[in-house]
Copies of this chain bind each other. A is one copy, B any other.
Amino acid sequence: MNAQASAPRVVIVGAGFAGLHAARGLRNAPVRVTVIDRTNHHLFQPLLYQVATASLSPADISAPIRGVLGKQANSEVLLGEVTGVDVEGRRVLMDEQEVPFDYLVLATGVQHNYFGHDEWRQYAIGLKTLQDATVIQRKILLAFEEAEREQDAERRQALLTFVVVGAGPAGVEMTGAVAELAHKALASDFRHIDPKQARVLLVEAGPRILPTFPESLAKKARAELTRLGVEVRTNCAVSAADEYGVEIGGVQLAAKTIVWMAGVRGSPAGVWLGAETDAAGRVTVRQDLSVAGHPDIFVIGDNASVLRKGKPLPGLAPVAVQEGRYVASLIADRVAGMAGKARTRLARPFRYRSRGTLATVGRAYGVVTMGKLRLTGLLAWVTWLFFHIFFLIGYRNRFIVVFQWALAYFSFKRTARIILAETPVARATRQEGSPKT
């Protein structure tokens, strides 16, 4: 069905910011693009915490990959799981098929890092996928429901204690949103508990929150979190996590809901390639984002370890977008070069142009750093809002999300707090006999 069956094949694994922008960057190139993802949607990850805290629905922050690439005639989309790469044979291995490539772009992202304690994962849930977000949302809402029924004061308090581990931007945003959910949105919903009594903790092993931000902004963000009722604990490493709670600095804290947002760990792409990885398992790439010894295989996005001034670039959406676009233009140039044109830009190394860093604390407070500019408060929040909307893929989402934010801003309502899966009890009794028909 493809117009140019002889055109070089570019296979892109992962349709996050990096992979999708690489695919779109190749829309006018004489190549055949195949995008492989294990989900059918591109996810606007920076807003995932809003799904986890019942402000937005999954569809509000995602776009079907096929929808995004539907009109791009030189592309096709495969839904499935990649299991490895046959580097010599130039094929991507999947469960039921193999996909040959001329150029390979691995944009497989990262997972949370449990620092050797993967057994904590089931209690301290990470937040990387829509699936994660709906699990956390369900867990938070059910904790209030169970607390409403619970007679024992101690168990009730454990149900109403929410711990977020890791105080990067995502952890700070998540904590602020949980605090507002508990202390404002749910305030009048219960009769036997007072959601305002819920404890919300932000636990960070390092000396301060928002380590990638200037210290002055981090201080203000911390003050704002405190104003929202969050207990911020820095210099506190988690030493254990189980169904009862977490151990912080040797002290047990009873908490039924733990959200893990600490550290990253590379996805298996490095293993597939047998490539050099950094301490976190991210693939060490060369200046043109290719893998040493494999000039036609690129790793981009969070899973690439790209050094700038000796430090790896942060795992941010703008970095991934720029890497995706860079690799697309590199491949397009190289293909054009093969077709006889001058190989003009081949040697130009990737350079990340930072447009600043943003984070939000609660519903109307943000911190922004752009070059020498520092912003805090409402203005920073509006800046954050603008940038996030601007980058949302798909117009529907932009409007809907703005609209919902506006509503949430004025009403404090969380309209997406729908617990979807039925209780196991409900499922069991439903099988039982109903009256004869």
Which residues of the other chain, B, contact A40 by a CB distance below 8 angstroms?
141, 145, 417-419
Q: How far is the CA of A421 from the CA of B113 in the complex (A)?
A: 22
Q: Which residue of B lies closest to A408 (CB)?
A: B396
Say whether A192 faces chain B, with CB atoms less than 8 Å apart. yes
Query: Cβ of A81 < 8 Å from any Cβ of B?
Result: yes
Q: Smallest distance from the beta carbon of A281 to chain B beta carbons, Å?
A: 3
A58 to B2, CA, bound (A): 37
Taking CB atoms and an 8 Å cut-off, the chain A residues in 123-153 that contact chain B are: 129-131, 134, 141, 145, 148-149
Chain B: CB-nearest residue to A78: B149
Q: Which residues of B contact A148 (CB under 8 A)?
A: 79
Q: Mark A398-437, 1 if CB is under 8 A from B, else 0.
A: 0110011001000001011111111101100100111111
The interface residues of chain B lying within 8 Å CB-to-CB of A421 are 131
One digit per residue, 1 when the CB lies within 8 angstroms of any chain B CB and 0 when it does not, for chain A 147-182 equals 011000000000000000000000000000000000
A187-198 interface code vs B (CB 8 A; 1 in, 0 out): 011111000000
Please name the residue on chain B nearest to A151 by beta carbon: B97
The reply on A267 being an interface residue by CB < 8 A is yes
B435 touches A266 (CB 8 A): yes
The residues of B that contact A325 with a CB separation of less than 8 Å are none
Q: Which residues of B contact A267 (CB under 8 A)?
A: 434
Return A301 CB to nearest CB of chain B, in Å: 15
Q: Are A396 and B422 in touch, CB under 8 angstroms?
A: no
Q: Please give the distance in Å from A435's CB to the nearest CB on chain B.
A: 3
A219 located at the interface, meaning its Cβ lies under 8 Å from any Cβ of chain B in the complex = no
Q: List residues of A (58-79) whose CB comes within 8 Å of B's CBs.
A: 58-60, 62-64, 66-67, 70-71, 76-79
Contact, CB under 8 Å: B145 / A434 = no
A189 engages B95 (CB within 8 Å) = no
The answer to whether A397 has its CB under 8 Å from any CB of chain B is yes
With A1-B192, A192-B1, A435-B268 already in contact, the answer to whether A419 and B115 are too (CB < 8 A) is no
Contact residues of A between 346 and 385, Cβ < 8 Å to B: none
Give the A interface residue count (CB, 8 A). Answer: 82
- Indicate whether A116 reaches chain B with its CB closer than 8 angstroms: yes
Please state if A131 and B70 are interface contacts (CB–CB under 8 Å). Answer: no
Collect the chain B residues with CB atoms within 8 Å of residue A145's CB: 40, 79
Choice from B2, B97, B265, B416 contacting A435 with Cβ under 8 Å: B265
Cβ contact of A403, chosen from B268, B271, B400, cutoff 8 A: B400
A148 to chain B, nearest CB (A): 8
A83 contact set on B, CB distance < 8 A: 429
* Interface assignment of A38: CB less than 8 Å from any CB of chain B: yes
A41 part of interface (Cβ distance < 8 Å): yes
The answer to whether A404 and B396 have CB atoms under 8 Å apart is yes
Known: A81-B423, A396-B404, A396-B413. A279 touches B437 (CB 8 A): yes
Report the Cα distance A76→B192, complex, angstroms. Answer: 9
Whether B70 contacts A188 by the Cβ 8 Å rule is yes
Q: A40-B418, A62-B418, A400-B400 are in contact. Are A434 and B81 (CB under 8 A)?
A: no
**Shortest beta-carbon distance, A276 to chain B, in Å?**
11
Which of B57, B134, B266, B396 lies in contact with A434, CB distance below 8 A?
Answer: B266
Contact partner, A265, options B1, B77, B432, B434, Cβ 8 Å:
B434
11 A-B pairs, CB-CB below 8 angstroms? A2-B191, A41-B419, A57-B416, A64-B418, A76-B191, A95-B425, A96-B149, A268-B434, A281-B437, A394-B415, A399-B407
Q: Interface residues, chain A, CB within 8 Å of chain B?
A: 1-2, 38-41, 57-60, 62-64, 66-67, 70-71, 76-81, 83, 95-97, 111, 113, 115-116, 129-131, 134, 141, 145, 148-149, 186, 188-192, 265-268, 270-271, 277, 279-281, 394, 396-397, 399-400, 403-404, 407, 413, 415-423, 425-426, 429, 432-437
Known: A41-B419, A116-B437, A403-B403. 11 other contacts (CB 8 A): A40-B141, A58-B420, A64-B418, A66-B186, A76-B192, A130-B418, A265-B435, A266-B434, A281-B437, A400-B400, A400-B403
